[in-house]
Amino acid sequence: VPEQILDHVIRCQSIDAEYHGNKKEQRHLNVLVPLGVPQTGMDTVQHLYSFMCQNTCPSGINHRPFEVVFTLEDEMGTVYGRRKLNVGVSFSPKRSKESKERDFLEKLDSNDAASPSDGKKTEKVDIKSSTGMLPALDTRLYTLT
């Protein structure tokens, strides 16, 4: 891996990708990828990205959410659009999902136990589905146009 790429958490699988910025100079790290043209019969262009873990400690990238900003601009730097996505990367998505569900349920239980009784009748709603799993928190499909 070329040295100028080592600090970058996000890497594009495009051979035309250019990597800018570095940690030593405290400049934002960014990846410049030419949009290109769609393949015949398509109206979209796809780019594949990889997220690199910079260390293996528990506080690594797979345990912290972060934001990725996509900017569409021309070669003169004129910005035509910008989208920010909240990203969570996990080495083990199933384990992370189960852990978050367990933490969520424990938080609900602790809130129920901590709430003062004011004499009003409250009905506890079971948020689990018939399969016993929590519904997905975000099932939207994101498409950048």
Q: For residue 94, what are the contacts with CB-CB under 8 A and spacing of at least 6?
A: none
pLDDT of residue 118: 53
Q: For residue 101, what are the contacts with CB-CB under 8 A and spacing of at least 6?
A: 133, 134
The mean pLDDT of 126-133, rounded to a whole number, is 47
| Residues annotated within a binding site | 53, 57
Return the number of other C-beta atoms located less than 10 Å from residue 120's C-beta: 5
Instruction: Say which range, 2-6, 20-24, 51-55, 114-118, has the weakest mean pLDDT.
Output: 114-118
| Cα–Cα distance, 70 to 32 (Å, whole number) | 10
| Cα–Cα distance, 69 to 89 (Å, whole number) | 15
* Residue scoring higher pLDDT (131 or 65): 65
| Residues annotated within a binding site for Zn(2+) | 53, 57
At 56, the pLDDT band (50, 70, 90 cuts) reads: low
Q: Are 33 and 14 in contact (CB under 8 A)?
A: yes
Q: Say if residue 64's pLDDT is above 50.
A: yes
| Per-residue model confidence as pLDDT tens digits over 11-45 | 888 888 888 887 777 777 888 898 888 888 988 88
Lookup: tokens for 27 = 């400049």
pLDDT of residue 63: 59
Q: Are 31 and 13 in contact (CB under 8 A)?
A: no
pTM for this predicted structure: 0.55
pLDDT of residue 127: 45
